[in-house]
Structure 1
């Protein structure tokens, strides 16, 4: 063979090897990515051609697949409309998936590792494959109470069982009707998605888990915890509480709500929390220092990165490199500290649970189509937020908030409620956000809840956390205790 032929043969061989290698990489190396790509029509037909498992709350399907007479075979249906949109998200041919429909997709389609033997059984018996049921921890009565109590006000509710981390309610308004995105007409689904993207209030994003807000005075629980954990303070320790506090290095001042007095130039730490004294907690933050506040915030769950429950929860953040004026503002939940409603509920849940913070979770059980349980979520401790002694002291202080302080609207006859109000300033010219977080019964907690009502809800600039958010929390607590 002469030299030109050898070169040509070598080139052909190299091209053949490259072709086989490329084909093998596409078929094997990229198989997983191609199968999960929402643009893959074969994947769509395969998924819709089999019954996707239901998402369940309280024994009832809140998302299910029903047979339809079209090439896809099944269509996703959401019987409760927008009530559970922050939980289920949507499953759409045109727009992909979100929330549990995305996070639990392998289980819902039956492709999860724990369903391997179910798939083998279906293959051997010739049974049509079905997805598994994903049973959530949501209490339907609590979810409905959150919806009814918030009404047309924008905001969110997150409720947790303190001893386990089970998420009992997860509600965001405005929500959206997933049925409008589940239609098999790609043009209709795409048009509706575009409308929701442009709609006020960003309904496609859950405010309970995907948005961060200044926590306002609910963050005073973190500052109070840091003080008690330092060993230098008890609930009875006097703290400075002037009507106005001049911030170090500036001429700016911090005042109390409505320019009110906290009861004197000094009040006890318990009374400062009870009346939500800004000047006392700003002063306390300056005394404790940035490191103490940051460490305490992290023990409650801040700065831990994105959390999976299994839906994604954005990170709650405590700012760093604070100058003294910023530190004072941060200590009262303003400036750059930011938290999700779920994170604020975690603060109350940790206090309610004797200082132990449990990992929140939304999926209780995954059950195969033949009703066998293939996985169950076990409670897991995330951190020790505070000592049992500090948790006990904070519980008594939070009871004072509801019994005779700013949180009276959360009172429930015959039930001791421990809570904390919050009113968080937003951008200039906009009404403040109204917050409330609580747990009950205080002596044997079954539920911890956080509520945010954006921009004061129906009361606007006149709103406080006690007026607007506390009644919502009370309704959710009553629903859980009555269920």
Structure 2
């Protein structure tokens, strides 16, 4: 019994010593390791952020330098005491605006040149609404814009409500070229200059509008024309793309290929039917690679069609070699519902001086080009309607109960999806139209997702079109604004 007692005493003594001298080396090592890992991670994140901001800043500086060039001249008519048409050199300041240089507008002298220079430094502000029109006070003059309040407000509302990383909306009147909506948004305000209606971005499958136009007008394509292919609707497997257009176990009509945005079908159409020269011609007719005369600094949309067969196919399907601005994308849809006319866009309706005199008023409709004939436009319109009724756009224009959400309004469009780097993300495009017997609107919307977002370009466009037809209390934007004399 004594031996057992000694053994218990020994164990008790041993446990007491362990409590007095705990082994702290392992927890201490883990703590030190976690601290070092945290320090390294924070340092790495800060370094990455610094390099990213440095690179982004350099890119934006180059972009802003580019966007600061070239604006269309417009002549202004002086007051009744001087009926001459003049273009006057103006200084570089406006009343109430601080900065270097003199005033933009001095005394009774006012020119569009001075307004152009002003907009280069200070983008137009669409904040004040009077009698159903947006207006802006610059010095002694009031600028009346063509924007439709229902359209502009809905564009702001939907992009902000969904807090999209980047978004842009442009809308035009297909009959006149008046800009009805013009808004861009970035959820991170420090990156707001990475998105703009004035900048050209990768179009994705919007390029299929041009390919379809060339195929219809020059190669006799019609909605029921069938294209054979192997593989799936999407993807860029070269082995399938270079097969003859009559080769393949699958078949799709031209209408559904457009509505569902079948990549391989349009690649084959571009390569085997349209060809390099004709595709370049139609991009140029849609005013790619040409300067659109616009008072704001609108970047050129570009398209360079390669001669190599597979790259030609990829370009015709929307994967390479093209850039488009949201404004031109809207003008392309406008051409589809106005008989094939690409209109000269304008955003200034009138300019009024401090005495209430109209010193400038936009008059008439100017046509930039006729990219397609009326008959081609009619066929293309059917294809674009199919995008909404049978294609990818259906998800944006029909609710969960399979009910069309714009009763009484005919809608159509084209989707586009592609990745891009400036800004970085997945570009989700939609350009389309809405029309009734008396009214029309053409819209384009771009949402840059990082990653997939709650709303895409089609959803934004549907809401803007709905607002134009059903929430618009300022339907008549054609009247002259009367401002009280001071």
TM-score by length of 2: 0.64
8 Å contact from structure 1 (residues 99, 312) kept in 2:
no
> How far apart are the structure 2 equivalents of 1:345 and 1:324?
30
User: Do the aligned partners of residues 429 and 317 (structure 1) sit closer, same or farther apart at CA in structure 2, a change above 3 Å counting?
Assistant: closer
Which of the numbers 297, 304, 307 marks the counterpart of 1:319? 304
Which of the numbers 194, 208, 222 marks the counterpart of 2:197? 208
**What is aligned with 1:368?**
353
> How far apart are the structure 2 equivalents of 1:239 and 1:251?
17
User: Do the aligned partners of residues 33 and 46 (structure 1) sit closer, same or farther apart at CA in structure 2, a change above 3 Å counting?
Assistant: closer
SS in 2 for 1:413: coil
**What is aligned with 2:123?**
99
Which of the numbers 242, 245, 257 marks the counterpart of 2:230? 242
User: Do the aligned partners of residues 108 and 479 (structure 1) sit closer, same or farther apart at CA in structure 2, a change above 3 Å counting?
Assistant: closer
**What is aligned with 2:320?**
335
Residue 36 (1) aligns with residue 92 (2): yes
Residue 417 (1) aligns with residue 411 (2): yes
| Count of residue correspondences | 351
Which of the numbers 440, 444, 450 marks the counterpart of 1:450? 444
**What is aligned with 1:281?**
266
> How far apart are the structure 1 equivalents of 2:153 and 2:392?
26
How far 1:387 sits from its partner (Å)?
Answer: 0.6
8 Å contact from structure 1 (residues 238, 267) kept in 2:
yes
Residue 229 (1) aligns with residue 217 (2): yes
> How far apart are the structure 2 equivalents of 1:282 and 1:339?
19
Segments of structure 1 that go 5 or more residues without pairing to the other structure are 1-31, 54-86, 102-106, 111-129, 177-195, 256-262
Deviations 1:249-302 (A, max 9, x none): x956669xxxxxxx9622221111111111100111102112111111111121
How far 1:434 sits from its partner (Å)?
Answer: 0.5
| Large movers: runs of 4+ above 4 Å | 40-53, 87-91, 107-110, 244-248, 250-255, 427-431, 442-445
Residue 158 (1) aligns with residue 144 (2): no
How far 1:46 sits from its partner (Å)?
Answer: 4.9
**What is aligned with 2:154?**
145
SS in 1 for 2:169: strand
How far 1:476 sits from its partner (Å)?
Answer: 1.0
SS in 2 for 1:271: helix
Deviations 1:407-466 (A, max 9, x none): 011352332211111111335996421011110117665110001101x25625xx8xxx
8 Å contact from structure 2 (residues 259, 387) kept in 1:
yes
User: Do the aligned partners of residues 471 and 269 (structure 1) sit closer, same or farther apart at CA in structure 2, a change above 3 Å counting?
Assistant: same
> How far apart are the structure 2 equivalents of 1:35 and 1:207?
27
SS in 2 for 1:453: strand
Residue 459 (1) aligns with residue 452 (2): yes
SS in 2 for 1:163: coil
**What is aligned with 2:479?**
none
Deviations 1:363-391 (A, max 9, x none): 11112222222221232011111111111
User: Do the aligned partners of residues 225 and 47 (structure 1) sit closer, same or farther apart at CA in structure 2, a change above 3 Å counting?
Assistant: closer
**What is aligned with 1:475?**
463
Segments of structure 2 that go 5 or more residues without pairing to the other structure are 1-87, 126-134, 243-247, 399-405, 473-486
> How far apart are the structure 1 equivalents of 2:152 and 2:307?
39
**What is aligned with 1:437?**
431
> How far apart are the structure 2 equivalents of 1:319 and 1:46?
42
**What is aligned with 1:76?**
none
8 Å contact from structure 1 (residues 254, 278) kept in 2:
no
> How far apart are the structure 1 equivalents of 2:379 and 2:295?
33
**What is aligned with 2:289?**
303
- Pairwise CA RMSD: 3.9
8 Å contact from structure 1 (residues 242, 280) kept in 2:
no
SS in 2 for 1:419: strand
- 1:114-129 to structure 2, matched below 5 A, reads none
**What is aligned with 1:72?**
none
8 Å contact from structure 2 (residues 334, 442) kept in 1:
yes
How far 1:244 sits from its partner (Å)?
Answer: 5.2
> How far apart are the structure 2 equivalents of 1:365 and 1:205?
30
User: Do the aligned partners of residues 254 and 369 (structure 1) sit closer, same or farther apart at CA in structure 2, a change above 3 Å counting?
Assistant: farther
**What is aligned with 1:171?**
183
**What is aligned with 1:23?**
none
Residue 426 (1) aligns with residue 414 (2): no
User: Do the aligned partners of residues 346 and 428 (structure 1) sit closer, same or farther apart at CA in structure 2, a change above 3 Å counting?
Assistant: closer
How far 1:134 sits from its partner (Å)?
Answer: 1.1
**What is aligned with 1:353?**
338
SS in 2 for 1:426: strand
